Amino acid sequence: MNLSQKIRELCKEKDAAILAHYYVDGEIQDIADYVGDSFYLANMVKKLPNKVIVFCGVTFMGESASIINPDKKVLIPDMSAECPMAGMADKKEIIAMREKYEDLAVVCYINSSAKTKALCDVCVTSSNALNIVKALPQKNIYMIPDGNLARWIAGKLPDKNIIPGRGYCYVHHGIMVDDVLKAKKEHPEAQVLTHPECRIEVCEISDYVGSTSDIIRFASESSCKEFIVCTEIGVSHKLNAQNPQKTFHFIKKGVCNSMRKLTLESVYDCLINENTVAEIDDNISRQAIHSLNRMLDFARI
């Protein structure tokens, strides 16, 4: 039996389901039960009957899964696979913002720590942020941690006063306008598809801006045959599998070192040992679940 088969056998034995984000290596996506973007995976966690969930992504994803579904054992293959942006929100700034604006909603990108989620009014992901912020009754919206996503949403909702947080994703923020212009010069027929964690100037010169799943959907439905993709390289696995007749050019800087830490070996080890469990302080979890559930409720509307 090869390692992938051993993992599948262990899943049966332990009643475990593997969830994987599009950014992890293709061989992990191939053995997963469910592969998707942050929102799809968070939503899926609610529905799963399995006792154990192996969350193949960065640690905040596993933590969110555990908060949403506290009865499950959520295993994280590599505890050191942290998303740096998740730690880029500041409690003092949230408190100061609440004091400054009476009519304020604190909107927290799912790429954040459980502690930050506990202080916010609602969570969002890149696929639902626009609809959720639009539906909020408050005019003033403090969007943390990701300032780039906030600026992108602000451009779409001019009636809201959107205050961007100071956080950013080094992978997406590292993609510069010049990188895109150079790629466009090399591939003049290609459409540019961009994740909203990219700089606003990059979003503005793109043909389409959307979450990981939205990018895959757009590329699959487009009649265009060639694309420049401004997001993490892991997405190429699904894009190529679903569109063998199309060509995808990724900007070389689009590599998330944390997602790359996950390997088939780490997935196997975490299933065997069951000791890398997502554990969140009960108090924080009780508070954080509100902002996550509110996101899931909004998405159902």
Distance of closest approach, residue 301 Cβ to ligand 13P, in angstroms: 19
In the range 182-211, which residues lie near ligand 13P by CB under 6 A?
A: 197, 211
Distance of closest approach, residue 145 Cβ to ligand 13P, in angstroms: 12
Residue 84 partner contact from ligand 13P, ligand SF4, none using kind-dependent CB cut-offs of 5 to 8 Å: ligand SF4
Which of residues 168 and 268 has its CB atom nearest to ligand SF4 in the complex? 168
Joined tokens for residue 2 = 């090869």
Q: Give how far the C-alpha of residue 158 lies from the chain's centroid of Cα atoms, to the nearest Å.
A: 25
Which residues sit opposite 164 in a β-bridge?
A: 143
In the range 114-173, which residues lie near ligand 13P by CB under 6 A?
A: 125-127, 169
Which member of 45, 171, 229, 233 binds ligand SF4 (CB under 6 A)? 171
Q: Give how far the C-alpha of residue 170 lies from the chain's centroid of Cα atoms, to the nearest Å.
A: 14
Which of residues 38 and 285 has its CB atom nearest to ligand 13P in the complex? 38
The site map against ligand SF4 for 99-118 (x = CB under 6 A) is: ------------x-------
Question: How far is it between the farthest Cα atoms of the chain?
Answer: 61
Q: Please report, as a single letter, which amino acid is at residue 227.
A: F
Distance of closest approach, residue 278 Cβ to ligand SF4, in angstroms: 16
The site map against ligand SF4 for 200-239 (x = CB under 6 A) is: --------------------------------x-------
Applying CB under 6 A, does 63 fall inside the site for ligand 13P? no
Applying CB under 6 A, does 259 fall inside the site for ligand SF4? yes
Applying CB under 6 A, does 38 fall inside the site for ligand 13P? yes
Distance of closest approach, residue 40 Cβ to ligand 13P, in angstroms: 8
Applying CB under 6 A, does 228 fall inside the site for ligand 13P? no
First to last CA, the chain: 46
Q: Which parts of this chain interact with ligand 13P (CB under 6 A)?
A: 37-38, 111, 125-127, 169, 197, 211-212
